[in-house]
Amino acid sequence: MIDSHAHLTLSQFDNDRELVIQRAFNAGLKHIITVGIDINDSQKALTLAKKYDFIFASVGVHPHEVKSMNSETYLKLSELSSHNKVVAIGEIGLDFYRNLSPREIRIQHFRDQLQLAREVSLPVIIHDREAHQEVINILREEKAETIGGVIHCFSGDYTMLKASLDLDFFISIPGTITFKTSGDFHKLVQDIPMDYLLLETDSPFLAPHPFRGKRNEPAYVFYVAEAVARIKGVSVAELAEITTNNARRLFNLLP
């Protein structure tokens, strides 16, 4: 199994990061993608990926942080992305729930980071919170189907799902699928084609039941897999094989 989206470099793991990674390895995870949220964090993600064979990194600037981006930022992202342990540009996108950067700046840097991904020939990891139509519009306008990527921690409706699939994007399911209040989300997951499905933890956030409210970690991706397998009517082993192959295909990971 692969945790396609975690943030192992954040401070929540400072006291026991190596133990968390060891638990993930012991639990049978084949790979973890640790995802950058700004330049410094992206550098930390790559450093961590270099240390562990089964960890890979993405580099990018989260919409909350784009107000500090400049030409040097893009040069550094381009430099980081040239390393073979970097498998995506992200997490990038739009967030209209928390307006921590001016809207027009967020939109421009979303476009610019999509263009960077095209230049360095890497897929993108998309953050979308309460910005479904704007995200889809920009992905269409920037011809993101030629880049490839995943809508991480999917929170959209059926219209967003269909538009994402039309762009040939993968859909990643987080621990919220295990919550008792996630009935409508179950119906949406039923409509996701198996060959476009990814699993994630978004560690240290969004811990699945029975750890809801506590710190999340990559080993808990198995709880996500169990919930999705029940919804899809397949075994956990079958779901693990399919989603692992999907992640390998998207991120160009060797078996």
pLDDT for the residue numbered 180: 85
Percentage with pLDDT > 70 across the chain = 100
Order the strands of the 86-95 sheet from edge to edge.
2-6, 31-35, 55-59, 86-95, 124-129, 149-151, 170-173, 197-199
Kindly report the three-state secondary structure assignment for every residue of the chain.
Answer: CEEEEECCCCHHHCCCHHHHHHHHHHCCCCEEEEECCCHHHHHHHHHHHHHCCCEEEEECCCHHHHHHCCHHHHHHHHHHHCCCCEEEEEEEEEECCCCCCCHHHHHHHHHHHHHHHHHHCCCEEEEEECCHHHHHHHHHHCCHHHCCEEECCCCCCHHHHHHHHHCCCEEEECHHHHCCCCHHHHHHHHCCCHHHEEECCCECCCCCCCCCCCCCCHHHHHHHHHHHHHHHCCCHHHHHHHHHHHHHHHHCCCC
Question: What's the CA gap between 109 and 87, in Å, rounded?
Answer: 20
pLDDT value of position 100: 74
| CATH code, domain with 212 | 3.20.20.140
- Angle, helices 132-141 vs 103-120, to 10°: value is 40
In this predicted structure, what is the pLDDT of residue 182? 78
pLDDT value of residue 148: 97
Structural domain that includes position 141: 2-251
Distance of alpha carbon 56 from alpha carbon 42, whole angstroms: 11
CB–CB of 161/171 below 8 Å? yes
- List, for residues 76-99, the tens digit of each pLDDT value: 999 999 999 999 999 999 999 887
What total of structural domains would you count in the chain? 1
The predicted structure's pLDDT at residue 128: 96
pLDDT at 15: 98
* pLDDT value of position 101: 75
Bridge partners, residue 122, by sequence: none
pLDDT by residue for the chain (255 residues), tens only, comes to 999 999 999 999 999 999 999 999 999 999 999 999 999 999 999 999 999 999 999 999 999 999 989 999 999 999 999 999 999 999 999 999 887 778 899 999 999 999 999 999 999 999 999 899 999 999 999 999 999 999 999 999 999 999 999 999 999 999 999 998 878 899 999 999 999 999 999 999 999 999 999 999 999 999 999 999 999 999 999 999 999 999 999 999 987
pLDDT at site 242: 98
